[in-house]
Each structure stands twice: as C-alpha cells, then as structure tokens.
Amino acid sequence: MSQRKDQIAAVEDKLKHVTMVLLKKWAGLSGFYGFKAMEYDEVFALLNTNGWKVVIDDSAAPNRIVELYQGEKRVRREKYAVDEAGRVHKV
C-alpha cells in the first residue's frame, strides 16, 4: 500500500516539475524577466499578473492541461499524460 502511495507522490512531483519548466518557458516567451531563479509558486504568481492568467486543470488524475490566457484570449495550451510506467508525456 505504501509503495503505491510513493508512486503516486513521484508522479505528482514529475507533473509539478514538468509544469514548472513549462511555466518558465512561457514566462520567457511572454516577455517576463527574472523568472529563471524563481520557484513554482513565484512563476505561477508572475504569470497571473497584468492581464495574464494561467489555468491548470488536473481534474483527470493521470492527465494535466495547462493553459495561458491574455485577457479572455487563450494564447498557449499544453497537455501532459502519465503512462503506466509513471513517465510524463506531452500529448
């Protein structure tokens, strides 16, 4: 039972890492600066300023959809899925 919990925690850590790398990439492409030394929460807060908004949908457990909006217009969208071996793939 605890091995299963460890696997779930490891997958969540992988998804969080992939999401952080993606948010940093988007911050650079969107003209923000100073984001390279930031942590996940700081980059997330940076991208939620000046009319920008990040939406992370992880309602479907093995999948995660990350969207970046500028005002009401969606600018970027990425989807990640986890396979049976626990690897994260961009879909």
What's the pLDDT at 12?
Answer: 86
Strand-pair category, 88-90 with 63-70:
unpaired
- Number of compact structural domains in the chain: 1
- What is the per-residue pLDDT across 81-90, written as a single tens digit (0 to 9) for each? 999 888 999 9
- C-alpha to C-alpha distance for 6 and 64, rounded to whole angstroms: 19
Amino acid occupying residue 80: Y
Q: Which domain holds residue 67?
A: 2-90
pLDDT band at 1 (very low <50, low <70, confident <90, very high): low
Q: 16-57, pLDDT tens digit by residue?
A: 999 999 999 999 998 898 999 999 999 999 999 989 999 999
* Residue 25 DSSP code: H
Q: Is 73 exposed, middle or buried (0-12, 13-18, 19+ CB in 10 A)?
A: exposed
pTM of the model: 0.86
Rounded CA gap, 29 and 80, in Å? 20
